[in-house]
Amino acid sequence: MIEFSEVTKSYSVGTHALRGVSMQIEDGEFAFLVGPSGSGKSTIIKLITGELKPTSGTVHVNGYSLERIRKREIPYLRRTVGVVFQDFRLIDTKTVYENVAFAMRAIGAREGEIRDRVPYILELVGLENKSRRHPTELSGGEQQRLAIARALVNNPSTIIADEPTGNLDPARSLEIMSLLQEINNLGTTMLVVTHERDLVERFGKRVIAINEGLVVHDGMDGYYRV
């Protein structure tokens, strides 16, 4: 579960990125986080992944209190939150298989577990036949699938997708969103940050809209106004 309570975040340059954000995303929920550039979306993601600490208020993510989390606990928080980025952030020198296995090795998984789980995840995202390819040999949609596989492989309770379709054409965008919905159907909490109004409206899920550091809309109908 993700819970923000009266969260503010100010940067040393004097910018007030968040000005009292409160919201709650339940386990297994699917929500879109929308808002214009500079509205505070990235700050919310960074607070969830422990890259930032709130200036005031409380942030709870999957049992961790972010306002008083210790540095050495952050890796363990991140294992509960898989992140998918717009620019994929894959390691080009590793194969598809290795990119996914790498995430498992990073948390100390055994080789046997890796050999069992990676093919299963690659099959889930439809890349089972491309495990020996390198990311540069894949299309944009496939690279994003790979990024999703990597985020998913450690079985996190939450996935945050930051503009996951920003670099894709409409058909591939729809595919990726459908994949994220499938993953959500399996029980993973999903928070998708996006600019794409069409997609948001098409999926008709909960929408949290942010503007100038405040939640300006929080509704279940897929419609929003910022």
For residue 215, the minimal CB distance to another protein (Å) is: 26
Nearer to another protein, 91 or 186 (CB): 91
Other beta carbons less than 10 A from residue 120's beta carbon: 11
d(CA 134, CA 144): 13
Smallest separation (angstroms) from another protein to the CB of 160: 10
Query: Measured from the CB of residue 60, what is the shortest distance to another protein in angstroms?
Result: 18
Q: Exposed (0-12), middle (13-18) or buried (19+): which is 216, by Cβ within 10 Å? A: middle
Q: Which stretch binds another protein (CB under 8 A): 3-11, 33-41, 89-97, 138-146?
A: 89-97
Please provide the size of the chain in residues.
226
14 near another protein, judged by CB under 8 A: no
The three state secondary structure string of 28-60 is CCEEEEECCCCCCHHHHHHHHCCCCCCCEEEEE
Binding status of residue 143 toward another protein by CB under 8 A: no
Task: Give contact residues for another protein (rule: CB under 8 A).
Answer: 49, 51, 72, 75-79, 82-83, 89-91, 93, 102-103, 105-108, 110-111, 150-151, 154
